[in-house]
Amino acid sequence: MGNSVLDAIKNRRSVVRFEETEVKKEELETILEAGRWAPSWLNKQPWIFIVISDRQTKNQLSEVVPTAFVQGLKEAPVSIAVAVDSEEDSHHFVEDGAAAAQNMALATHSLGLHASWIGVFDLENQRNSAEAKAKKILKLPKAYRLVAILPIGHAKGEIPKKDRKPLRRIVYEDKFSQQ
């Protein structure tokens, strides 16, 4: 059975290199709209999105984010930082931010563009973490937590191919059991 949503989910890939080609304003608005419509606990919508196109800001972020996606962060014409107000919902803000980021990644794919997910969230909220450093660069207030940064653009080079574990290895009925 064909399903366009499942097809988008299966075919979306993270890329690490981007062309200089601009992301159109309408495309960016579509991506942001997808984030806005993500589900959230009790419809709190605790997120904000910071659109980053300034080269200096991208370079500063690439210096504090420890990841294989640093080059993509520098090259992508635009990135979106997904931050959430942890005081708005102290129990579910991470899931809410992750849902918004995933919606934006899928919308990016649907437009023929690519994104990568740079996870910067620090579970322990340490003072010297990549998240803390990135929050300082982005001037985020203390209550906000930075869930992800999504570099977005046109992929440079080949798109990676990936596979998944078969369902029979990850699905259980009623209770977990050793197989």
Q: Please tell me the distance from the alpha carbon of residue 153 to that of residue 22, in angstroms, as a whole number.
A: 7
CA atoms within a 13 Å half-sphere pointing along the CA-CB vector of 121: 21
Q: Answer whether residue 13 shows pLDDT above 70.
A: yes
Q: Angle 93-110/4-11 helices, nearest 10 degrees?
A: 100
Please give the pLDDT value at position 10: 80
Q: What are phi and psi of 23, to 5 degrees?
A: -90, 125
* For the chain, percent of residues with pLDDT exceeding 70: 98
Long-range contacts at 30-33 (CB < 8 A, ≥ 24 apart): 30/107, 30/111, 31/80, 31/104, 31/107, 31/108, 31/111, 31/113, 31/152, 32/80, 32/104, 33/107
Full-model pTM: 0.92
Could you tell me if 141 and 86 are in contact, meaning their C-beta atoms sit under 8 angstroms apart?
A: no
Look up the CATH number of domain 8-158: 3.40.109.10
The label of the residue with tokens 């090259």 reads 75
Q: Which residues share a beta bridge with 82?
A: 49, 148
80-112: pLDDT as tens digits: 999 999 998 889 999 999 999 999 999 999 999
Separation between Cα atoms, residue 51 and residue 29, nearest integer Å:
10
The residue ranges of every structural domain in the chain are 8-158
> Tokens for 39?
């589900």
Residue 115 pLDDT:
95
